[in-house]
Amino acid sequence: MKSFDPRVNRMELPSNDDGKEVLESEENWETYEVFHQKKRGDQHIHVGIVHAANPEMALILAKESFGRRRQTANIWVVKSSLVYPTDYENQDMFETTPEKTYREASDYYCMDRIRKYQKEHGISDRKDERRKNKEAEEK
């Protein structure tokens, strides 16, 4: 097999082999999940993976793979093998979630009741006051 990649050619793969088997046996580095933090105090956000022989190498390579084009305060790497995922076979357990709008704050209409209560008890609306003050200032 003649490849554009000189490293593949140097491996002198048999001409009738597509190289898959040999390449797989060479591919023995683990992957690390990379988490990127933009500013100190922000949460770290998953951005991708790197291949590396050890955690130190993963950090060094992640710095350029994922930090070279954006503001960065900190990077975490975690061995991919240490991540425990849910099974896609069980994805149906999430199926009805989008219907459960009562779990979202936007599903509650209560301002009219709050206003009524404030009026009855003589409580002024702070937001309203601020607006009035601002308008007075502008005049």
Q: Which of residues 54-73 bind other proteins (CB under 8 A)?
A: 54, 56-57, 60-65, 68
Q: How far apart are CA 119 and CA 72, in angstroms?
A: 50
53 binds other proteins (CB under 8 A): yes
Q: How far apart are CA 6 and CA 22, in angstroms?
A: 15
For other proteins, which residue of 35, 36, 50, 75 counts as binding (CB under 8 A)?
Answer: 50
Asked if 70 and 38 count as a contact pair (C-beta separation under 8 A), the reply is: yes
Long-range contacts: 80-88, Cβ < 8 Å, 24+?
Answer: 80/30, 80/31, 80/32, 80/33, 80/49, 81/30, 83/33
CB of 20 or CB of 68, closer to other proteins: 68
CB 62, min distance to other proteins, A? 8
Q: Which of residues 29-48 bind other proteins (CB under 8 A)?
A: 29
Q: Which residues bind other proteins (CB under 8 A)?
A: 6-7, 29, 50-54, 56-57, 60-65, 68
